[in-house]
């Protein structure tokens, strides 16, 4: 009898807990056969099994607790995985450039994919939210990255990824930042949304040129209502000034319009790096998502150039198709072609190509989410 009462008490306590909070296990496994080929002297081709050709492979845990009075607390832990070999993606602890590893002295210990085990590199945050918005702490996407991925028909995944990101000089915080404090506007502003973020390099204050390495701030403001979505983002990240690094400022504006028969997308970017000889980069993208029965056609043209010596420039065409077998499983293929000039040598899917030459690549894959 006592055992039965104890069991009932445990179940009742569990029921109360589940009513106040919840934890979700989620993820994506995306396997891709990728091929890339270059052209010109010293070029190469490569075929390999990789991941994330359509959606980024990941595993994560998230949970929310209702604190009452319209307030809630939540956490989000999300790790990137290379499902072709089981290794985890690397993370950056301080938003700074990692030099070459010295096995003798141990300097610049490995912080690269496959060398750190499983890390929650994609996102690791804790949040407090109310009707006034959300305060979020930890490693997270940067405001300047959201426009890159939201307004790219390929979602910055696979061989079709926009050249404004692949060639961009946005630095180590172009996609994510560690040690960040972020604020998100509440979702009841008639379609207006926004994000402010400040992130830290966490260096000792010694007066050295590297004192603020990896520290920066960014903001994104947008409006989404019905078929329209448009957003502007700008950021500034401090780095020690050298021949190849320096304080980097990035600004981009993107938008989309859903016509029903197709969703059109566009993006314009500008980056400036105040290094020994300042460099400015500019890029643009135009693309579309076209529903096709159980599938979707994806198409994009993107370009990026800098004013460095020779004015290197890369232009990419990408065309893909996704066929949904269910709400959670899809087959996909993408073909892309990039043309270089001004000394640029961008190549696709791990291939190498000569300066001012071309490269082609394609993906075939399957994605399953859970």
Q: Which residues contact 209 (CB under 8 A, 6 or more apart)?
A: 240, 241
To the nearest 10°, report the CA torsion of 189, 261, 315, 248: 10
pLDDT of residue 45: 98
Q: Taking a C-beta distance cutoff of 8 angstroms, is the pair 303, 318 a contact?
A: no
DSSP 105: T
Helix (H, G, I), strand (E, B), or coil: what is residue 6? helix
Helix (H, G, I), strand (E, B), or coil: what is residue 37? strand
CATH architecture of the domain with residue range 24-369: Beta Barrel (2.40)
CA separation, residue 64 to residues 9, 52, 129, 214, 325 (Å): 24, 28, 10, 30, 31
Q: Taking a C-beta distance cutoff of 8 angstroms, is the pair 263, 288 a contact?
A: yes
pLDDT of residue 357: 98
Domain boundaries in the chain?
24-369
Q: Taking a C-beta distance cutoff of 8 angstroms, is the pair 237, 248 a contact?
A: yes
Beta strands in the chain (DSSP E): 21-37, 45-51, 58-68, 71-82, 87-88, 123-130, 133-141, 176-184, 192-199, 215-225, 228-238, 247-258, 263-274, 279-292, 295-306, 313-324, 329-341, 358-369
| Total Cβ atoms within 10 A of residue 9 | 10
pLDDT tens for each residue of the chain, 370 residues long: 444 433 434 333 444 344 456 899 999 999 999 999 999 999 999 999 999 999 999 999 999 999 999 999 999 999 999 999 999 998 988 998 776 666 666 666 656 667 778 999 999 999 999 999 999 999 999 999 999 999 999 999 999 999 999 999 999 999 999 999 999 999 999 999 999 999 999 999 988 888 899 999 999 999 999 999 999 999 999 998 888 888 999 999 999 999 999 999 999 999 999 999 999 999 999 999 999 999 999 999 999 999 999 999 999 999 999 999 999 999 999 999 999 999 999 999 999 999 999 999 999 999 999 9
Residue 159: name the closest of 328, 329, 311, 332 by CA: 332
Q: Taking a C-beta distance cutoff of 8 angstroms, is the pair 26, 69 a contact?
A: no
Locate 132 and state its tokens.
Answer: 């006034």
pLDDT of residue 107: 62
DSSP string, 247-261: EEEEEEEEEEEE-SS
Residue 298's DSSP bridge partners are 289, 320
Model confidence, pTM: 0.90
CA–CA gap between residue 135 and residue 121 (Å, rounded): 20
- Report residue 300: phi and psi, to 5°: -155, 145
pLDDT of residue 261: 97
Sign of the torsion angle spanned by Cα atoms 325, 328, 332, 336 = positive
């Amino acid at each position: 009898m006592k055992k039965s009462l104890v069991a009932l008490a445990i179940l009742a306590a569990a029921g109360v807990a589940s009513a106040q909070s919840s934890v979700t296990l989620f993820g994506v496994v995306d396997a891709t056969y990728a091929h890339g080929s270059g052209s010109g002297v010293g070029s190469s081709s490569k075929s390999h099994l990789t991941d994330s050709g359509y959606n980024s492979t990941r595993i994560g845990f998230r949970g929310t607790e209702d604190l009452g009075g319209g307030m809630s607390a939540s956490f989000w832990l999300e790790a990137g995985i290379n499902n072709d070999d089981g290794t985890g993606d690397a993370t950056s602890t301080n938003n700074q450039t990692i030099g070459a590893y010295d096995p003798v002295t141990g300097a610049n210990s490995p912080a690269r994919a496959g060398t750190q085990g499983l890390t929650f590199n994609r996102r690791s945050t804790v949040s407090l939210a109310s009707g006034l918005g959300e305060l979020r702490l930890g490693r997270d996407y940067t405001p300047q990255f959201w426009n890159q991925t939201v307004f790219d028909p390929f979602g910055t995944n696979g061989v079709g990824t926009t050249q404004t990101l692949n060639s961009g000089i946005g630095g180590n915080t172009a996609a994510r930042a560690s040690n960040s404090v972020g604020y998100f506007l509440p979702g009841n502003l008639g379609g207006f949304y926004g994000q402010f973020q400040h992130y830290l390099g966490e260096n000792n204050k010694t007066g050295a040129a590297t004192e603020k390495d990896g520290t920066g701030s960014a903001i994104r403001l947008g409006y989404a209502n019905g078929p329209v979505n448009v957003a502007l983002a700008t950021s500034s990240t401090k780095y020690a000034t050298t021949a190849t690094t320096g304080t980097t400022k990035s600004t981009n504006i993107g938008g989309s319009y859903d016509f029903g028969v197709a969703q059109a997308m566009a993006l314009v970017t500008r980056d400036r790096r105040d290094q020994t000889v300042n460099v400015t980069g500019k890029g643009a993208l135009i693309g579309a998502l076209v529903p096709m029965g159980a599938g979707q056609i994806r198409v994009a043209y993107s370009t990026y150039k800098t004013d460095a010596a020779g004015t290197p420039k890369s232009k990419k065409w990408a065309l893909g198709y996704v066929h949904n077998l269910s709400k959670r499983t899809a087959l996909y293929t993408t073909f892309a072609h990039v043309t270089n000039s001004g000394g640029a040598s961008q190549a696709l899917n791990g291939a190498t190509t000569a300066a001012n030459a071309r490269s082609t690549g394609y993906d075939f894959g399957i994605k399953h989410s859970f």
